[in-house]
Structure 1
């Protein structure tokens, strides 16, 4: 059977390929721009400027996006190769951010109909330029990357001795048509993806606004938001690059952090969203200092809960483990292999469950403290109407306060003149069988409720957990009853009187426990 002269059996149907490739690989504008920044960093750039503007010539899609860097620049051959799909002078090189040579053309044409590249290698040397254009490729007007030509030095070079400028024009697929919205979103997403480079001194701007590093773990003080604490030591796990070849291995480094529940749980919903707390739970996966994925990863069967918003995890891996992580050419998603999941997921899931439990406990403590506050405030307000409490501690007070440790609430400003007695109520397991204890402490009066006593479990905690106004009022009155009993005992100074009062309180506690149990 002879082939018709009009039939085409080339491996790639270029006109259809160039249209189809626009729909593949990138989740959005941020991911595509990140590819250009990868190339800049690979070329040794320390200054990278992203700009978004409007073409005033009347184009249907007038937005223009450019990335200009001070990297090493390219010669004519390298430039032409870089604009090819799969063209790269560093193909499969694992020492940097790129690897497959798909980034420049694929990311660019996923967002724009035309990409133009200018590059130069010295301050007074030639500026070379070439391009790709969707319409010209689809029509068959060009079937190869146009040979680079020497052009006048553009004004946007910004005086860099060497570098590259990539310009997207006729941008028909950007995430948003408003420059302000695009800029705001890029500032956050690129700040997170390239945080390690920004910490290392790289300058990255968007329309002259500096990109601040965004630390999803909230650990670095120089990040946009910080205040978390690292949980435990960094885990380092050696993993085979391939399941069928255990001779080549790489390191996976895993860090966890706890967000400050007491300080941040009181923030409003808008502020929590701004900081990335609400619905921000997940694991950040970092390759060669660049975030390549973020999500509910390596957590196996653990269900995501609201308390998981209050911890974070970073998984940092060597590029030699690309196959194990299933890294894609667009570097925005992983598809981890079973042997990798088996090696690291159990530890990640176990720590995540522990952090979830800690967050739950911390929120309960905050909730409890908030519900105590009304009773504390009322007692503090009425204190001036009662016989004054002696200020100095007694030996029994020292013992109670010492048992509280870190649970002891901080005192108010000691310099505040004529301050009222501060009342504090907290729940803390007691070594005795008492259902409450107390201590006076230099202007504070601390009431300690024993959560192990049947009174707390059967009577007090149901009222503490309840949300109806009637139950909240009843619990508040119960707080005041206990404060009144404890405060009256705290007025005693004679050792014999103190011992009698403690004997009565212990007998009362034991009798109450007996009556309530069973």
Structure 2
């Protein structure tokens, strides 16, 4: 009896849960293939479906990716939809390699994927249909057949079709994270402009420029909307770029020399070079308050607060990784990019869907010295990944301190300090509300329960809360200062994560009334983060005061029966907000 390690008819449904963050990241796998195929032009087609006349918005019916790369021969086409059968599994060059991108990304979003590819005008096609695989218990790929170049879809292109290229079509798209065309396209544009920035700018040194566009194909019409992707560079050194009002100039300046770190990999003792680049904002560009005139720049920089890890010209991951507190205003006005080659995939923990690096978080030198006590690079127990993290952490810490000092020098003399927590709207609103609450004699649950926690326990709870929210790299003196500031106001807003419908809850570490916002709830992402995670604005202050007022009202209804009712109310309210926001995104 033949036993398959992966019985396709049952395993393929499990493979659909591949872990792609969203439709954009799944499509990125196809764009990677186009770049690897040396395409000059890449087009992502969002083909709208017919909708009833009553609807005021259009939905995506199918998606396609076209490129004019070198195309695939029939023997390559035969394995392109088989899992782990890629032609570059053992190759350490370019942005491809893993051999799972095309099939895995496709079935994570749709039930049927069709691939067309042609060389010297000869076109061949194959497909993968999930329903067919499950129904017939299919174990092998479908045959490759010769066909005509698919003109029905390609007629929508804005460039001539060459005698070589490929077209991938996703049909029966049942797992798109967003169905509404404009919303999906907006997310795709946001993702691709940063991921592929080195292939979109006018400098071919690190990634040859390609023309990548999103085409929206209207139903029952020959109307096609074209969106050309411009680079979104978190270092703000590229031209052109998509920063509103500054599309043709760099708004940051390179800071310091490019730092090159030799890194050993594998068992052969070979070394590769990791490059770390920094930039800082120009003084004439920095915006210290958000208003109608500055909002576009402030919001753009805010969305690019982080460290970018770039593999072979393509961004893999972006975030703070415990290196800094992204909530501070000054942190958005510098950039850091870490470049590495595919040969270092294991050291950087690159996932096979190229969505993340793993275990590259900030690490203190003391911890490294303990792990490597008495070991040299040649010892078998020497951890080269830890050594890489240590070197990145050391170099970042030095450069970060100097850049922050420079940004401080750019800030205006008047107004609040850009380095203090007072730039956080949550802290500003807490200061305003806290004084009013303290002067109000009303009996509250916080006042009733405050003596159950000693001052020492309260400080410990507050420090734990701050570390959980901002990371464990906060210096002790800064942590003490933040605790004292919270104690001075008596209220604070923090962020946690828990399952369920409640988007906020109230905690009472001693005499501090604390609103904890649920990071898993769509309220956090769709409303609170967009409004409040930025500089001092009236909208952010109003949102936080709204939450603080609700918490204070609950605090004054201190008896057990009222508290139980309020708990149930928050559960139902949060459930409705979750349902309605989800429906809004998918409508």
Q: 1:55 to 1:143 in 2, by over 3 A?
A: farther
Residues 18 and 105 of structure 2 are in contact (CA less than 8 Å); yes or no, is this contact kept in structure 1?
no
Residues 249 and 321 of structure 1 are in contact (CA less than 8 Å); yes or no, is this contact kept in structure 2?
no
- C-alpha separation between the residues in 2 aligned to 1:344 and 1:298? 12
Aligned to 1:294: 318
- C-alpha separation between the residues in 2 aligned to 1:92 and 1:298? 33
Instruction: Note the C-alpha offset of 1:140.
Output: 3.0
TM-superposition CA deviations, 1:171-199 (whole Å, max 9, x none): 12222111112222212211111111112
Aligned to 1:168: 170
1:35 corresponds to which of 29, 34, 50: 29
Q: 1:91 to 1:171 in 2, by over 3 A?
A: same
- C-alpha separation between the residues in 2 aligned to 1:80 and 1:326? 30
Q: 1:46 to 1:279 in 2, by over 3 A?
A: closer
Aligned to 2:66: 68
Which aligned pairs between 1:80-479 and structure 2 lie closer than 5 A?
80-122=78-120, 125-155=121-151, 156-157=153-154, 158-199=160-201, 200-207=208-215, 208-225=226-243, 226-242=250-266, 245=267, 247-260=269-282, 263=285, 264-268=287-291, 271-272=295-296, 275-278=299-302, 280-297=304-321, 299=323, 302-306=324-328, 307-335=330-358, 336=360, 337-365=385-413, 367=415
Q: 1:281 to 1:57 in 2, by over 3 A?
A: closer
Residues 198 and 313 of structure 2 are in contact (CA less than 8 Å); yes or no, is this contact kept in structure 1?
yes
Residues 64 and 169 of structure 2 are in contact (CA less than 8 Å); yes or no, is this contact kept in structure 1?
yes
Residues 221 and 227 of structure 1 are in contact (CA less than 8 Å); yes or no, is this contact kept in structure 2?
no
Consecutive unaligned residues of structure 2, counting only runs of 5 or more, are 53-58, 155-159, 202-207, 216-225, 244-249, 361-384, 419-535, 537-587
- C-alpha separation between the residues in 2 aligned to 1:275 and 1:252? 30
TM-superposition CA deviations, 1:460-503 (whole Å, max 9, x none): xxxxxxx9xxxxxxxxxxxxxxxxxxxxxxxxxxxxxxxxxxxx
TM-superposition CA deviations, 1:58-87 (whole Å, max 9, x none): 9xx962100000011112110111111111
Whichever of the two has the greater Rg, that structure is: 1
Residues 61 and 172 of structure 2 are in contact (CA less than 8 Å); yes or no, is this contact kept in structure 1?
yes
SS at match of 1:351: helix
Aligned to 2:17: 23
- C-alpha separation between the residues in 1 aligned to 2:295 and 2:40? 32
Aligned to 1:390: none
- C-alpha separation between the residues in 2 aligned to 1:309 and 1:42? 32
Q: How many corresponding residue pairs?
A: 357
- C-alpha separation between the residues in 2 aligned to 1:304 and 1:152? 52
Provide the TM-score with structure 1 as the length reference: 0.64
- C-alpha separation between the residues in 2 aligned to 1:18 and 1:268? 51
Consecutive unaligned residues of structure 1, counting only runs of 5 or more, are 371-466, 468-518
Instruction: Note the C-alpha offset of 1:32.
Output: 0.9
- C-alpha separation between the residues in 1 aligned to 2:303 and 2:404? 14
- C-alpha separation between the residues in 2 aligned to 1:284 and 1:368? 29
Q: 1:353 to 1:39 in 2, by over 3 A?
A: same
CA RMSD, 1 decimal: 2.7
Aligned to 1:462: none
Provide the TM-score with structure 2 as the length reference: 0.57
- C-alpha separation between the residues in 2 aligned to 1:187 and 1:303? 27
Residues 46 and 60 of structure 2 are in contact (CA less than 8 Å); yes or no, is this contact kept in structure 1?
no
